Structure 1
Amino acid sequence: MGTLNVRTDEAMETALQALTSGGRSRSEAVRYALLHTYREQMIAQAKADADRLAENPDDQAEMLAIQRFMGVAE
Structure 2
Amino acid sequence: MGTLNVRTDEAMETALEKLAGEHGTRSEAVRYAVLRTYKEKLLEQAKADSERLEADPDDKAEMLAIQRFMGVAE
Give the share of equivalent positions with the same residue, in percent: 59
TM-score by length of 1: 0.81
Unpaired segments ≥5 residues, structure 1? none
By how many angstroms is 1:72 displaced?
5.0
- Structure 1 distance, partners of 2:29, 2:48, is 28
SS in 2 for 1:58: coil
Kept after mapping to 2: 8 A contact 1:64/1:73:
no
Kept after mapping to 2: 8 A contact 1:16/1:29:
yes
By how many angstroms is 1:65 displaced?
4.7
Residue-by-residue CA offset, 1:26-58 (whole Å, 9 max, x unaligned): 000000000000000000100000000000123
SS in 1 for 2:38: helix
Aligned residues: 73
Q: CA RMSD in A?
A: 2.4
TM-score by length of 2: 0.81
By how many angstroms is 1:69 displaced?
7.5
Kept after mapping to 1: 8 A contact 2:23/2:29:
no
Change (3 A) 1:47 1:16: same
Kept after mapping to 1: 8 A contact 2:19/2:29:
yes
Unpaired segments ≥5 residues, structure 2? none
Q: Highest Rg: 1 or 2? A: 1
